[in-house]
Amino acid sequence: MIGVAIPAHDEEAYLDACLHALLRAACHPALAGEEVRVCVVLDACSDRSLDVVATHEALFDAAGCHLEWREISARQVGAARAAGARRLLEHGVRWLAFTDADTCVAPGWLAAQIALDADVVCGSVGVEDWSAHGEQSSVLCERFRGDYQDRDGHRHIHGANLGVSAEAYLAAGGFACVGCHEDVLLVRALEGIGARFAWSAQPRVVTSARIDARARGGFGDTLRALAIGLLPVNAAP
């Protein structure tokens, strides 16, 4: 069984597209019918995020997949990812995949992670809509696409495109309950136990270029810093 965990804090604007994309990935023929279970962790949500998730439950059931949700009040992305992973491990998943509520995975996302035959898969991210950055949109887009290493062998770490075997995740101690960089901390712990890595651009995702970042210091804040020239693009996590 494959598990997918998604942290969400007030994400009603993005969750519908995120879950539609995940359902397509869960039904990919290359998975040969392996069961896929998705857990959305609603962290201190005050909007309609729960309603959006609930409307997808029947769609997942009809496709032979499973969708569930958990509510927590941590306001910490690390705690939310950890809670999702913990629930999926209780179901006995062999593989844990992680993405974000403002991200749409490609139809072959899960299949690509599994096919790489590694303990850990660190994927890259793409951005298609830069309009949130207004007049800086075109400059930021050009700079990101020109310098970002969207290729096999990259060294980016994104919680929006990450996969790890259940065995390796448990051996590394799982996600730390922190407000940011929980993905980086987990990868460092996995490196420390000698896990086999695939740094790959094959599992594809498209994420938002939002300016209302949910995790301070994460990808959204990195893009804002790039837009005003504070960081080189290869410093992006």
- Each residue's pLDDT tens digit, 47-59: 999 999 999 999 9
As a whole number of Å, the end-to-end CA separation of the chain is 29
CATH topology of domain 2-235: Spore Coat Polysaccharide Biosynthesis Protein SpsA; Chain A (3.90.550)
Of 141, 189, 198, nearest in space to 168 by CA? 189
Q: What is the dihedral of CA 171, 200, 4, 165, to 10 degrees?
A: -20
Residue 233's pLDDT is 47
Residue 138's pLDDT is 84
Q: How many CB atoms within 10 Å of residue 171?
A: 17
Buried b (16+ CB within 10 A) or exposed e, 40-52: bbbbebeeebbeb
Mean pLDDT, residues 164-171 taken together:
98
Select the more confidently predicted residue: 199 or 237: 199
* Element containing residue 149 per DSSP (H, E): none
C-beta separation of 97 from 18 below 8 A = no
Beta bridge partners of 121: 163, 198
Which tokens sit at 65? 């997949």
Residue 236's pLDDT is 46
Q: Give the strand order in the sheet containing 126-127.
A: 103-105, 205-207, 126-127
- Each residue's pLDDT tens digit, 184-231: 999 999 999 999 999 999 999 999 987 666 655 556 556 656 655 644
Of 49, 95, 97, nearest in space to 70 by CA? 49
Instruction: Identify the weakest region by mean pLDDT among 33-37, 102-106, 121-125, 230-234.
Output: 230-234
Percent pLDDT > 70 in the chain is 89
Mean pLDDT, residues 167-176 taken together:
98
Residue 139's pLDDT is 82
C-beta separation of 83 from 174 below 8 A = no
Select the more confidently predicted residue: 82 or 211: 82
Which tokens sit at 174? 């799982």
Residue 235: pLDDT band with limits 50, 70, 90? very low
Strands 120-123 and 162-165: antiparallel
The alpha carbon of residue 144 and the mean position of all alpha carbons in its chain are separated, in whole angstroms, by 19
Residue 134's pLDDT is 81
Which tokens sit at 192? 């420390």
Domain ranges for the chain: 2-235
Of 175, 222, 185, 188, nearest in space to 43 by CA? 175
- Each residue's pLDDT tens digit, 122-166: 999 999 888 887 887 888 888 888 788 999 999 999 999 999 999
Mean pLDDT, residues 50-73 taken together:
98
Give me the amino acid identity at 90: E
Residue 219's pLDDT is 61
Average pLDDT, the chain: 91
Mean pLDDT, residues 71-75 taken together:
97
Cα–Cα distance, 205 to 210 (Å, whole number): 15
Residue 152's pLDDT is 98
C-beta separation of 9 from 44 below 8 A = yes
Mean pLDDT, residues 76-93 taken together:
98
